[in-house]
Each structure stands twice: as structure tokens, then as C-alpha cells.
Structure 1
Amino acid sequence: MSTFKTNVFVNCPYDDHFRPLLRPLLFTVLRADLNPRMAAERLNSGETRFSKIVELIKESKYAIHDLSRIKAKRAGEYFRFNMPFELGLDVGCSCFGTVEQLSKRCLILEKEPYRYQIALSDLSNSDIAAHHDEPLRVVAAVRHWLVNDVGIDLPGPSGLLDQFTQFMADNYDDLLSHGFNKTEIPNLTVPELIRYMREWVSANI
């Protein structure tokens, strides 16, 4: 059975700095009874990253693209082109794909409003949400998109963030009781994190 209509491709950085934003983003998607899909969901070293991303894009009706790392922070640091590249693949699939894929929808996130126009002027007329590296703003942007563009009923942003915070507290205690130490918990893999979030939402919402 196809899961195309409930899959959400999440295209974002995996670094430590973005992790406080990624967790509530994933929680909000799961809270909407949708299925977040990421390249990090499978840890098969024999699978090329590009082929994995193409497969995920083709299988997902929805996508969330974060472009907040397209600007280098220090002199000599390279720009991060993975995220805009994957955004381009997703937009191309929605324009040139199958009849089903023509219905694809996406949300684009950035750190600051209008900054993306310097690097990606083709998006100058697009509706892009700025999160300022704040978890509540990420939750609000994803929540408003899911409610208004996708048509899913969800609590307000603050209520969702409260639920996420409760999940994090409960999950922390559960992981400690399952043999994790305090330094290992922040490095929980994406597949495990999504599984624990899904189980918590099912049991508590």
C-alpha cells in the first residue's frame, strides 16, 4: 500500500546546532499523523545518499526544506549546497513527475526573512517562513503549513511545543532506564527518535 499521501520528506542539516530545531519539527509532523522521511532514516552504508534522496522525494507528497545553512559562517568555510540541491530535485519532481507527483507540496524554511533571495533569486516570490533558529518558530511554521495548506487540525504552536517538551522529559527517563547514559541520549539516531516519538504520541495523545 502506497504511503505517498502521508510521507513528508525532511531536508535539513544534521549538525548539532540544528538538532534543537529538528526534534520539534519531527514531532510536529508526527503529531499530524504524517510520516517524516529523511536520508538518515536508513543507515545502510552500501546505499548511495543521492539514490536514497531521490527515492524519498519520489515517495513523498509533502516536503519541508530548511535553507538556513546556505551561508558560510566563517571565512574559508564552504557554503552548504545540499539543502538547495534537494529542494531543486523536489520541485523538479513536482513539475515533471507522474500524475500523482504533480500534487506534491512543500514548505521552505529559512533563518532570516529575505536572506535566501541573495543566493536563490528564483524563489523571490515564494512564501518562505523564517524561524530565527527558535524551536517555537519552527513548530509554528510547520503547524501553520499543515493546518492551512495541508488541511490537518492541530493544537496551537505553544500547545504543540508543550507536548514536545513533555515527550523529551518522558523519553529521557525511559532511555536512562534502558541503559543509555546522559551523554548518549542527545546522540540518539533519527530512526530511534522517530520511533520513540511515534510511540509516545500514540500512547499520550
Structure 2
Amino acid sequence: MASPPRRKPAASLSVFINCPFDDDYRPILRAIVFTVVVSGYHPRCALDSTDGAEIRIAKIASLIGDCDWGVHDLSRVEVVDGVPRFNMPMELGLHLGARLLGEPRHRRKRALILDAQPHRYDRALSDISGQDVETHGGNPEAAIRCVRNWLSEHRRYNQPPLPGAAAVQADYRTFTAELGALLAPRRLDPDDLTHSDYLFAVRDWIATRAEPA
């Protein structure tokens, strides 16, 4: 019997992550994903699934449509081989366009815009100069603080705040230290994980900590 289709998480708890996926950026991506999951939300990004038949821009637009939240890191808008990288600004534009021009349900979308250094984005994307942009300096723990604070600030009025940034950073350090032992029984290498492998590891670690001693 075929498995039932996987149910999408609620848009109100879904966070679209728009960032580079190369090896150099991976420590920040993993820190962001950990923070989103440990805060009770569902990270979504282009790495969720691979289908060579999909049109990439349609996939990105669908993901943005499925999420009320979006983290957009512009720190890698840079010139590579003489050509600027504009994927991240384009996806931010889709998010802002959905909020400004989309159906009523899209107007509740919230965005966290990140960059490596203050006002660096002004030189490449001056149209967002009037918006708040947080900086992480290329530091995963600083990225954790940015994401945690943003998610906590926008919780509903009757919800308690999330654990503090220092607590989430400490949890992330513990998770990273324990990751190898956690994955060993499954014969997985912590340095060679797919995105879905990593998501499973984060959720498994959280579930393990929640179990009574």
C-alpha cells in the first residue's frame, strides 16, 4: 500500500530560508535550521526535495507561498567570476511581492533580512534601505541570536517568549558536540548529511532530551 502524502506544516509555523547552500555557508545554515526547529517552527527551503522535473522558480514561489515567515540572508550577494549573485535578492523580492500584492492571507508574512556587515547591502540593493536588516558577521551563534529574537518578538500576545538567545546558543553547542554519537547507530556521518538527514537529527535530539530520565 502506498504511503499517504506528507502533510504540509501550517503556514503560520513555516519559515522559508533563503540563503546559499555551499559548504562555506553550511555552519550558518545549520545554526538557522536548528534555531527554527528548537523554537517550534518548521524550516522550508529549496533543499526540502530534489526533483529534476520541477521548474526551480515555481518551486521557490510555492515554498514562499506556503510560509508566513521568511529568513533572507543577503550576505553572499557578491561578484563571482565577474557576475553578481542575485538569487537571494530575487527570492526576497518574491516574498515582499507576495506580502504587498498577494491575497489577504499573504499580507501577514514577516521577513528577517540578514547580512554579514551593517549597510553592506546598500551598495547592491538600496531599495531595502528603509527596512530593518540584522547582521551576523558570518558567525553562526550571531545568526542564532538574530533568528531567535525575531521569532520571539513576533509571537502572539498570549504566548510566552522563546528561551533566550544565550540558551539556544548553548543548546546548539551541546547538539553539535553530541551529533556524532547520535548519528552513529544510524551509520550516518555528521559531515556528510543531506538536508533531510540534518532535520531528522535535530528533531531526534530534541525528542531525546524531552524523554524522562
Relative to the length of structure 2, the TM-score reads 0.88
Cα drift, residue 95 of structure 1: 1.0
Equivalence map 1:34-183=2 (5 Å): 34-72=41-79, 76-151=81-156, 153-180=161-188
For this pair of structures, how many residues does the alignment match? 200
Which secondary structure does the structure 1 equivalent of 2:143 belong to?
helix
Inter-partner Cα distance in structure 2 for 1:7 and 1:133:
24
CA shift for structure 1 position 196 = 1.7
Distance in structure 1 (CA, Å) of the matches to 2:38 and 2:98: 26
How far is the alpha carbon of 1:195 from its aligned partner? 1.9
> Which secondary structure does the structure 2 equivalent of 1:15 belong to?
coil
What code does the residue aligned with 1:186 have? D
* 1:193 aligned residue: 198
Deviates more, 1:171-180 or 1:48-57: 171-180
| Paired-residue identity, % | 34
SS at match of 1:100: helix
Query: What value does the CA root-mean-square deviation take over the aligned residues?
Result: 1.7
Cα drift, residue 135 of structure 1: 1.1
Match of 1:15 in 2: 22
1:30 is aligned to 37
Rounded to whole Å, the distance in 1 between the matches of 2:198 and 2:47 is 11
Q: Which one-letter code corresponds to 2:121 in the other structure?
A: Y
Residue 174 of structure 1, CA deviation: 2.5
Q: AA paired with 1:202?
A: A
Aligned partners of 2:34, 2:52: CA distance in 1, in Å?
27
* Residue in structure 1 matched with residue 3 of structure 2 by the alignment: none
CA distance in 1, matches of 2:207, 2:41: 12
Q: Alignment partner of 1:126: what SS?
A: coil
CA shift, 1:142, in A, is: 0.6
Structure 1 regions of 5+ residues with no counterpart?
Answer: none
Shift in Å, 1:39: 0.6
Q: Could you tell me which amino acid in structure 1 is paired with residue 174 of structure 2? A: Q
Could you report, residue by residue, the CA deviation over 1:59-98 in whole angstroms, capped at 9, with x for unpaired residues? 10000000000022x6x34221100000000100111111
One-letter amino acid of the counterpart of residue 37, structure 2: L
CA distance in 2, matches of 1:78, 1:173: 42
